[in-house]
Amino acid sequence: MDEREREREREREREMEMEMEMEMAQDEEIVFRISPEEEWREAQEKGALYGGDLDKSSGFIHLSKFSQVEGVLALFYTGREDLYLLTVDAKKLGDGLRYDEAEKGVFFPHFYGPSGSFAPLPLDTVISFKKLKVEKDFWQMTCKEQVVLNIYKGSRGEDASFTCFCVSIVLR
């Protein structure tokens, strides 16, 4: 393979990455929960995720859209090596799922529960869970389809919005 072919292949890979990022970022039928190992283990034992101190004091379970995962990891979980990324079926959360403005113009999904007051996240809403592996500049998740998803650590911009979610796919 010559240099031009390699460059075309890299360009195709970048285009595929962008397409996947856009598809996932626009899919509001799925939300995500970053869960420490102990919390996830407890959820499996109890059949529901009760959240941490921040969730309980806020009155809802904190969730993220795909485009917000990287910022939440960087802001709240830097240095943690015991994290799972839970994929949650937003349709199953019904009216208990609300999008609240956390920062000017930035809305996060929050699960209040069916009655509108704090309720644990039912375990049957979790579609999948993946252990996040910490690397120097990113968290890495290996999916069952033998795809590696790299979540790059980033910083917040001056306008307090999160940086774009960057995805790197490595087929095995």
Looking up residue 111, the CATH number of its domain turns out to be: 3.20.170.20
pLDDT tens for each residue of 5-34: 888 888 887 667 556 544 544 556 899 999
Question: Considering its fold, how many domains does the chain have in total?
Answer: 1
CA distances from 89 to 9, 47, 132 (A): 34, 16, 20
Q: Which two tokens stand for residue 46?
A: 């109890």
> What's the rounded mean pLDDT across residues 83-104?
93
Give start and end residues of each alpha helix (H) in the chain: 3-26, 37-46, 53-58, 69-76
> Distance between CA 110 and CA 123 in Å, rounded?
16
Mind listing the pLDDT tens digit for each residue in 40-77?
A: 999 999 999 999 999 999 999 999 998 899 889 888 88
According to the per-residue pLDDT averaged within each range, which of 50-54, 113-117, 159-163 is highest?
50-54
Sign of the Cα pseudo-torsion (19, 157, 149, 41, in order): negative
CB 32 within 8 A of CB 65: yes
Using alpha carbons only, give the angle 59, 65, 69 rounded to the nearest 5 degrees: 95
Q: How far apart are CA 56 and CA 44, in angstroms?
A: 18
The DSSP letter of residue 64 is B
Q: What is the rounded distance in angstroms from the CA atom of residue 99 to the CA atom of residue 67?
A: 14
Domain that holds residue 97: 3-171
